[in-house]
Each structure stands twice: as structure tokens, then as C-alpha cells.
Amino acid sequence: MTKLSSLCIIGKKDIMPINEEDFLKQVEYEIRVGELKKLVSLKKTAAIRNFEIARVKLNKAIENLKNVKSIQEQVSSISEEKKQRIMDKYLNEGVSLDKLAISYKIKKTLIMEIIEKHLPERKRIRSYSDSPIINSIKENTSLVMLGPYRGDLERILWRCENGHKFEASPKNVGRRGKRACPLCAFNETNRWNKNFHQFKNARFFGTEANLVEGATFELDTGKFKKQLNLRLKEESQRQLSELYEYWKGKGNFKFLNIETNNAQIFSSTVSFSKFILETALEHLNIDYENEKQIDLLALWISKKRIQIPEIKEKWIKLKNYKLEDWTLHSKELDDYIKSLNIFSKEELFNEAMTDWVGINKDIFEIIWPVAIKRSHLIPDEIKENTETDLDLKMRRLKDLYGKND
């Protein structure tokens, strides 16, 4: 059997040739998605085409799907005593979901389900009324926190309005707002197939059909940790040691406006250093996201000033002057900025709200004037009154030799 199957007839319909290697790729993708009806359909195609490798893979995947119990069924088989112990460890002792899963030999998704179902019965959750981030999340989103607050950088369990459960720190949730749920941010039902490659580091618990109905979702970033071996100069080592001893003695630590009393970071200088590095990276990443958004907004502005006639008219007048002299032509500059505000600002804000994560009206108002200034340095994408090489050649010939009558 060749790799390319021959043309054959079933009933009155022609079956077009298909490459077995491409078919296998499609099969592997659909197995990851896990929709039973689609796998059965592909199995029939594999049998018709005589694609044995694909048929065997599909057989196994279909069998596995048929034998899988729902999360609720699996949770119901766990004793109430064990569920209560899990809740005590999670709420009172702050044991992480990963450690609970290992200790009790229960899948992490089942731990999530137990916590969600039993949380309303428990009242011993540490108060978080003093956290501005948590209060902001409560006021501006419909996200529900499913666990004890242990600091703005400590990952805890959340549930979004669509019922998806995910782990994230309050800091990240506060920054991303309504889009904090990874599944809701990436998975709109009509874009599922198009965007599936974005989930390469994610694990789904359920099929494509029930993911949007509240199946558990876990972004598995914790599985991809990488060790860094850093060598500090002697003076930096001394400073680190002094800082560690001082803050360990106090029992709490504040760095870049992040305060924590988590005893784990004082277990060693390595843990202390890790907290410092991760906190610094978190703040640098926020700056990086801001800069990217300003750059993109500046690029959008540079396009609008050419596309929209009312803005283009003001822009042409302004760009006749050297950039360093624009302060001497304040009327032209003010007219240009006013035209941007009238004819493009709202449209670009709506575009940003649609495409970006971590944006709202207040943030947009701050970055808008910065982006306008940055856009001044971007050349116009559409050249005006430009001549091609052929046009230039023709004009020069006519200037030199006149028209050929």
C-alpha cells in the first residue's frame, strides 16, 4: 500500500486522495481534543483508506474515552472523611493542590472538585479584606476565589463565571481581570480548532463539547520549571546573607510593594533569592507588557493618521515642520492631536479591549498620550506622491529630450 491512497468510489461519492502522514497528524490532533463522535468518524475513514497505524491509534483513544468516568463520579467514590481531611489541609494549613494530590494519591482535578463542592460548608478562611488586589477583583470581575488568601503572589484556586477552575496568584488575576481564566481568554467556541496549538502546555479534563460547560481546566505551567545556576560576586553574596538574616528575624518581607510572611521563603537563602528574583521578574514583565501595548498603539495611530482623511489633513500640515520644531507650531500640533482624539481614539480603545489582556479605560487613558508621542517617530506606512523607477525614468527622458511627436 502506497503512502498516497488511490481514488475509490463508495456509493456515488468520490473519495479524494489523501496523504497518510497528513491524516495521522489530524488523528493525533483530534485525539488530543477528545471528541468521541469525531474519532469514530475518523476511524471509519482510516478503515476505508486502509491506514492501519491511524486505525489502531483511534481504536485505543475511543476505548479510553468510553472507559473514563466523569470527575463527579470519581469524587463520589472518595470517602467523606478523606474529603474533610483534604479541606482541613488546604484551608487551615495552606497545603498546595500539588502536595495534596501527591499525599492522598488523588488527581489534582479531583482535589479541585472537592474544594469547590465543600468550600461553602467551611467558614475558616483567612480574611483578605486588607488586600486591595482581592477587593479590586471582587468589585470588577465575577471570579470566585476558592481558597484561603496567603498573599498576593501565592497561587490559589479560582472559578470563573463559566465554571472553569484554574490556579493563579491574586497578582496575576488582578492584572488580567475578566480575562484571568486561561480557557475563557483563549477558547471561544467558534475559534477552538484555530487556536488549539496555543494550549500545548495545558491539560484539559473533559472534551471539546463540555469544556465550555464548566469542565476543569489546568494551565500546567508548573511542570516546566527550569533550574538556573547563578554565581554571585562576593559582595553580592554578603549583601544577600545580611538581607536574609535580617528579614528572617522579622518574620515578614516587603519587596517592590509585595509583602509576605510566608515562612517558606526564609527556609534558606536560595528560597529567599528565588522570591526576590520572581518578584522582580513579575514587575519587569508588567513593564514589558505596558511597553508592548504602547508600541502597538503607536503603530495603530501611525496607520490611522493616513487612513482617515480628517486626521491626514492635520498630519500633513504638521509633518512639514521638523520634529524638533513642533513646539514652535503648537496650533498645528494641537489640531492634529485633537483630530486623533475625535476620529480614532474610541475605535482604537475598542480594538485594544478586544485584542489585549490587562487593559481598561484608565490604563488606556494613561498610555494614549505616550503612544501618540511615540508614533511621531514611526514613518508613514503609505508613501504619498511616490514615483516608481519607471515613472522617474520617463519624466527624466521627457525633460531632457521632450515629447516624441
* Sheet of strand 144-145, all strands in order from the earlier edge strand to the far edge: 144-145, 156-159, 165-168
Alpha-carbon span 92 to 125, nearest angstrom? 8
pLDDT, tens only, 321-347: 888 888 888 899 999 999 999 999 999
Q: Is the pLDDT of residue 203 over 90?
A: no
The mean of the pLDDT values for the chain is: 75
Task: Indicate yes or no: pTM above 0.95.
Answer: no
Number of other residues whose CB lies within 10 A of the CB of residue 265: 24
Taking 60 as the threshold, does the pLDDT of residue 219 lie above it? Answer: no
Residue identified by cell 516546566 is 224
Q: How is the chain split into domains, by residue range?
A: 8-68, 72-122+132-224, 227-308+344-405
| Residue 354 in this model has a pLDDT that exceeds 70 | yes
pLDDT of residue 227: 67
Residue 316: is its pLDDT beyond 70? yes
pLDDT at position 368 over 90: yes
Q: Tell me, what's the pLDDT at 373?
A: 93
Q: Choose the weakest-confidence range: 228-232, 321-325, 360-364, 373-377.
A: 228-232
**Vertex 34, ends 220 and 30: CA angle to 5°?**
100
Residue 243 predicted with pLDDT over 80: yes
Res. 286: pLDDT tops 60:
yes
pLDDT for 57-96, tens place per residue?
A: 888 888 776 665 666 777 778 888 888 888 888 887 778 7
Q: Which of 360, 362, 349, 358 is nearest to 179 (CA)?
A: 358
Q: What gap in Å lies between CA 112 and CA 158, rounded to an integer?
A: 9
